[in-house]
Amino acid sequence: MSFVLTAGGAAMLAEAGERVRNPQPLHADGDGWTLATFSVPEGQRTLRHRLRSTLTWEGFAPLRDGLWIAPGVVDLQRGLASLLPELGTGLVAFHARELDGFPIADAVRTAWDIDAIRAAHISFIDAWSDSAVRDASTALSMRVMLVADWLALVRLDPGLPRNLLDPEWPADRSLRLYLRLRDETAVPASREFARQAPAAGLPEPVGG
């Protein structure tokens, strides 16, 4: 029995790899905000769920019913490539900027749980600063767990503009810790992977 990734699954895995290797994953691309509004019929719940999950992965959060917002410029043609044929005209997206006299800070706090994002960063820092956790793992298992935790954090943190966050925002500390541990485990994890699967023809794991 063999298993093959779907085109959408392969694209998502490739994007996850790019995000893991991105040197600035917690900063949005460009200025302003990308907004997406959609209407999916009640009978297409699976499509609606896939759309919401993909928008979340792309850094969006719901601002109002059917209206989602993300910081910066989001390439939705790429991010939603596998869904656009099914959505048809059911989704409209545009780029916008904040107008004078209409501060966006309150809207940002409505869309995102800032305290939860901060807590996730602190949890990541505390967990991966613990040498006992690192010493109890092989380089490969540590790298797999590290990348999994990092992807979960990156999924949660859309890279909001720093002027909307407090001065002690912990994202830079998380990034420095992740990059250091990723670099430290790169060579030993690759060697361990090669020993365990020398003839399987398996690709280098995400984050390799």
pLDDT tens per residue, range 22-63: 777 888 889 999 999 998 888 889 999 999 999 999 999 999
Q: What is the arithmetic mean of pLDDT over 192-206? A: 65
Read off the pTM. Answer: 0.82
CATH code: domain of residue 72: 3.30.70
With a cut of 70, say whether residue 97 has pLDDT above it.
Answer: yes
Q: How many angstroms separate the CA atoms of 185 and 182, rounded?
A: 5
Domain match, 193 and 137 both: yes
Task: Supply the mean pLDDT for the chain.
Answer: 86
Q: How many angstroms separate the CA atoms of 109 and 114, rounded?
A: 6
- Total domains in the chain come to 2
Residue 105: how many other CB atoms lie within 10 Å? 13
pLDDT tens per residue, range 150-159: 999 999 999 9
For residue 177, the enclosing domain spans: 1-27+113-208
